[in-house]
Amino acid sequence: MNRARILLAIAAAGLATPAFAASDVTTVTGPGGVTLRSVTVDLPQSDREFPGTDADAINNNCLTCHSAGMVLRQPPFPREKWAEIVNKMIQTYKAPIDAADVPAIVDYLAKR
């Protein structure tokens, strides 16, 4: 499991607070009754990285915005469609993808 530190905002007193088994909970209540609670949770590892020895380019560029699982659950698009999608990420959404990595990313996605 991967441990992550998150902040929960509880907007009003009396609302159900999610139960977390965390030993290092820190709670701060501010003006207006807003409570921030810092907890550590265990996240599943399954979507952490793209699998395979040819996954370096996609792991280094695409995990900033996408989970591996979300991408791998897409339909099996042809190479041309994946190239179009990757270029849209770069041009429209300004994804900081190294141009030299685009062919390897498209190759990886087209093989899945």
Domain residues of the chain, as ranges? 55-111
pLDDT tens for each residue of 4-14: 555 555 444 44
pLDDT, residue 23, reads: 52
The residue written with tokens 């009396």 in the block is 14
Residue of 45 and 58 predicted with greater confidence = 58
Contact yes or no for 45/24 (Cβ under 8 A): no
For 15, the enclosing helix (H) or strand (E) is none
pLDDT tens for each residue of 78-105: 999 999 999 999 999 999 999 999 999 9
> CA-based Rg of the chain, rounded to a whole angstrom?
20
pLDDT, residue 13, reads: 47
**Prediction pTM value:** 0.60
Give the architecture-level CATH label for domain 55-111. Answer: Orthogonal Bundle (1.10)
